[in-house]
Structure 1
Amino acid sequence: MLNSVGLSPTPFLPNLLHEKEIGFDVGFKDKGRVVILQFKLGHLLQRLNRASPTQSIPELERPFWRFNVDSAAHQLMRLAEFEVAGAETYYVAPKVSMWEQFK
C-alpha cells in the first residue's frame, strides 16, 4: 500500500520508551520526504451524544468511527513540530471493532 504513494523504505519503529520521547509509532524517509504515523485505537459508534440540546447533529454514516487525541499531551506537540518541519504527519486507526476481524 505504501508503494502506491511512492514510499518503499524500511520503516523506523521506535520501542515504547523511545516512542513516548519522540511522539510517533512509525517513521518513513524516502526520496527527500518524511512520513510520520501515530496509531490510535478506533472506537465503533452507532449514535452521537450531543454536548447540549442546541448542538446540531452532523451528517454521519452509521456506524461511524472515532479515536481520542489528547490535545494537551507532549505527543501532539511533537507531531505538530514534525509537520511544521515538512513531514507528512498522520493519525491512523484500524477500522475493526471485533477480535475476529484481526485474524
Structure 2
Amino acid sequence: MERPSSNGDCYLSLHNFKQGGLVYRDYLFTKDSLMVFNSFGDGPISQSTGAREYYFFPRKNVIPQFSWNSSDRRLEVTATDGNVVFFDYETTAMTAASNLLAK
C-alpha cells in the first residue's frame, strides 16, 4: 500500500496478508531507504524480531513507485535510486533486484 505518513512523506509498505502466525517478513520503502522487518515467531520481542535498513544513493525519484507485472505475476517496485526490486505476487517474497550494491 502506498500512502502518506503523518508528516506527509509517501511510503510503500508490503505485507503478505495470507501469511498466518507470527513468522513473516515485511518491507517498507521510503523516500530514501528500504526497511526489512522480520518476525521469527512467538517469544520476547527482543529475541523474536529484527529489522535492517538500507539507504539509497543517489536519489533520482522523489517517492518509490510500483507496478504489477501480470505475465510474470510479480510486483515491481522502483526505489528512489532508480533500482527495481521484484516481489512474488502471492508470497511478497523478494525474488530479484536490479543493480543493488552493498557497500
Question: TM-score, with normalisation over the residues of structure 1?
Answer: 0.26
Which has the higher relative contact order, 1 or 2, with Cα contacts under 8 A spaced 6 or more apart? 1
The answer to which structure has the higher strand fraction is 2
Question: TM-score, with normalisation over the residues of structure 2?
Answer: 0.26
Pair member with larger Rg: 1
